[in-house]
Amino acid sequence: MRLGRAFRSLRAYPFAWMGGAVVAFLLGLAGYALVRYPYAEVVWLWQGSAEVWLENPRNAVPAWVNLFGGNRPPTLRVAWEDAAKATTFPWPGVEETTAIFAFDFSYDAFPSELAVFLKPTYTRIPPHVRFFWRMPNGEELFLSERTVEQAQRYVLSGDQDLTRRLGGRAPEIALFESPREPERPLKGTYHLVAKIYTFEPGDTLEAKLVVYGRVHGLGGTDHLRRDLALGLLWGTPPALAFGVAAALGVFLFHLIFSAAGVWWGGWVDVVVERLTELRLVVPLIPFLAMVGMFWSRSLWAILGALLGYNLLGGEKTFRAILMQARAAP
């Protein structure tokens, strides 16, 4: 009954409900992070090799940025299973597979990179592949050819020979720019044509096209292509734990420290008052800057300094309450 009355009394304080909703949301988010991404998996993903994030763009902004205008492209992927394929036998013992990777591009910004992931399977002679690029206006351009001996990522954006043949322009720009407006991409359907040659029965070469965008997920990516939403999500549990522990610890210290001054009075109360007033005139940001400059920049040092800074300051409020309680009959 008392709990019910307490909740009913909170109706008069809408900001209390808003604060409770925020805390409940953070608790739910922290619980989801712990269940969905166990600690060992997060460490492996975050500190693992770059291969984990190879299909993510580099330094992309969050996808919701497009809500404010810009129409930046997301990352587009065309898997081997989605490509149109045709097989012929141009010479005895040689199988030619033509795979066409089609995708629609209707964005106002150029991609950030272009890459093709290659995965060969062969007995003795490695497969050979030739790449061609078709633009929406019908223009076709030879890109490159290579013999694929092992799984690899062919980065068109880093192909110096292709860049030279494109007049020194970056491939992710030159392969998309409009002939009439070079500063804008040409919108329409693009095709990457891969002519794959295998030389033994059962040999294959699978390819996957990745057109890296400029937006990604809820948090974007960093220079290592890591999804920052993972870091933000898994930062919730320790941040919430630090916040709750610090708030509870500071509250108890304020209560006990002010109670000691009220109970014993005299020089104890004077010390409590002077320390509290000293804390009230010390600015927080310069204080933390001096800690980082002259002591340590570690998270624990900053947290300890912040906790020590906030240990004083609320004693006057508790002192006023406790003085009334002590003077009450």
One-character DSSP codes across 90-157? EETTEEEEEEEEEEEE--SS--SEEEEEEEEE-SSSPPEEEEEEE-TTS-EEEEEEEE--S-EEEEGG
The confidence band for 256, taking pLDDT boundaries of 50, 70 and 90, is: confident
Q: Which residue has the higher pLDDT, 280 or 188?
A: 188
Backbone angles phi, psi at 43, to 5 degrees: -60, -40
pLDDT for position 283: 86
Average pLDDT over residues 298-305: 82
Q: What is the mean pLDDT of the chain?
A: 89
The vertex-52 CA angle with 51 and 55, nearest 5°, equals 80
Q: Would the pLDDT of 286 be above 70?
A: yes
The token pair at 111 is 């991609």
pLDDT for position 140: 94
Separation of CA 46 from chain center: 10
d(CA 202, CA 120): 11
pTM, two decimals, is: 0.77
Q: Which residue has the higher pLDDT, 132 or 320?
A: 132
Q: Would the pLDDT of 1 be above 60?
A: no
pLDDT for position 254: 81
- Residues 196-216 have pLDDT tens digits of 999 999 999 999 999 999 999
d(CA 39, CA 42): 5
CB 229 within 8 A of CB 42: no
The confidence band for 56, taking pLDDT boundaries of 50, 70 and 90, is: very high
pLDDT-above-70 percentage for the chain: 97
- Residues 73-93 have pLDDT tens digits of 999 999 999 999 999 998 888
Q: Would the pLDDT of 71 be above 60?
A: yes
The confidence band for 50, taking pLDDT boundaries of 50, 70 and 90, is: low
Q: Alpha helix (H) ranges present in 37-93?
A: 39-47
Separation of CA 257 from chain center: 43
Q: Would the pLDDT of 324 be above 80?
A: no
The vertex-312 CA angle with 308 and 313, nearest 5°, equals 135
According to CATH, where is 2.60.120 located in the chain?
A: 73-213
Average pLDDT over residues 263-285: 81
Handedness of CA 52, 127, 189, 165 (dihedral sign): positive
Nearest to 75 by CA among 42, 107, 51: 107
d(CA 253, CA 91): 86
pLDDT for position 203: 94
Average pLDDT over residues 63-67: 94
pLDDT for position 307: 77
pLDDT for position 94: 92
Average pLDDT over residues 163-191: 94
Q: Would the pLDDT of 46 be above 60?
A: yes
- Which helix (H) or strand (E) element contains residue 321? helix 315-327
The confidence band for 49, taking pLDDT boundaries of 50, 70 and 90, is: low
- Residue 237 amino acid letter: P
Q: Would the pLDDT of 329 be above 70?
A: no
pLDDT for position 253: 83
**Residues forming beta bridges with residue 120, ordered by sequence position:** 205
CATH number of 73-213: 2.60.120
Q: Which residue has the higher pLDDT, 321 or 185?
A: 185
